[in-house]
Amino acid sequence: MVRLEDARWVEGHLTASGMTPIPLAKLAAKAHEMGLVTAASVHAFNRWSWASAEFPLGDETPRLPLDAVAVKYGDDDYHLLDRRDVRYPDVQLNNAHVTYYSPVATLVDLRVNKGSGEVEILEHYSWVECGKPIVPELVKGQLEGGIAMGIGHALLEEMPLYEDGPGNGTWNFNRYQLPLARHCAVWKQGSEILPPLSDTDPAKGMERW
C-alpha cells in the first residue's frame, strides 16, 4: 500500500515506495480529464501564530494553517471553499518580540580608499537557509533586496540625533540615500539556497525582509 507520506517529487516526477516515477505532465493531464483539483490559491495570516480553519476537501475536512482557500477543478474557474471554525491568534500576541528571519551569510569583497574612507563593493556571495521554497527565484529576489538594504544601512545611512533626525516627520528619499545598482555590485553577486534539512520539509513561501 502506498502512503501519502511516502510520496516524493524527484526531478519533476512523482514517486513513492520504489514505484515507477510519473511525470508531472501526465499527472496534470489525468487531473484535468477527471475534473480533479488542478490549482489552488491560498491566504495565510500570522500574528506570531497562524490562523487556521477547516476546509471541505473531498471526503475530508482538514484543519489547515490558512484562513482562505480557493481551488480550480479541471479547466473551470476558481471556487472559494466555505471555511469552518476559523481561529485567529489572540491580538495580544502583537506584543511578542520575536522574528521569523531566515539565516543568511554573506561574503563581501570590497575596496576602501584610505584617504577619503569611500567603500566600493567589488562582489559578494550569499547563502540562505529557508527550508524548501515554493518559488526559488522569488527567494533569490528577496535575498538580493535584503543585501541591498544591508548595504544601505552599513554604508549610506546617516541619521542625525535629536530634533533634526528622521523622526521629525520631514525625511523622505530626498534626504535618505537609497543604495543604487552601482553601490551593490549587481552584476557580480551570487547566491545559493541551502537544501532543506529533510526531503519531507513542507514547501513554504517567503515574505519581504
Write the DSSP assignment of 193-206 as a string of letters: EPPPSSTTSPEE--
Q: Provide the domain limits for residue 161.
A: 104-204
118 within some domain: yes
pLDDT in tens, 99-114: 777 889 999 999 999 9
Same domain for 12 and 66, yes or no, is: yes
- Distances, alpha carbon 80 to alpha carbons 29, 41, 42, 58, 177, in Å: 23, 9, 10, 14, 44
* Domain final position from 69, 94, 119: 94
Same domain for 88 and 113, yes or no, is: no
* Domain final position from 63, 94, 125: 94
CA-based nearest residue to 50, from 90, 83, 103, 18: 90
Rounded to whole angstroms, the Cα distance separating 111 from 108 reads: 10
Rounded to whole angstroms, the Cα distance separating 130 from 209 reads: 13
99 within some domain: no
Same domain for 70 and 136, yes or no, is: no
DSSP-derived 3-state class of residue 140: helix
Same domain for 84 and 11, yes or no, is: yes
Quote the pTM value.
0.64
* Domain final position from 94, 115, 143: 94
- Look up the CATH number of the domain holding residue 189: 3.30.365.10
Q: Total domain count for the chain?
A: 2
CA-based nearest residue to 44, from 202, 192, 194, 201: 202
Same domain for 72 and 124, yes or no, is: no
- pLDDT values of the chain reduced to their tens digit, one per residue, 209 residues: 778 888 888 888 998 888 889 999 999 999 999 999 999 999 999 888 899 999 998 889 999 999 999 999 998 999 999 999 999 999 988 887 777 778 899 999 999 999 999 999 999 999 998 888 878 888 899 899 999 999 999 998 888 888 888 888 888 877 778 899 999 999 999 999 998 888 777 766 666 54
Rounded to whole angstroms, the Cα distance separating 115 from 202 reads: 51
**Element spanning 107, H or E:** strand 104-112
pLDDT in tens, 111-138: 999 999 999 999 999 999 888 887 888 8
Enter the DSSP assignment of 173: T
Same domain for 86 and 9, yes or no, is: yes
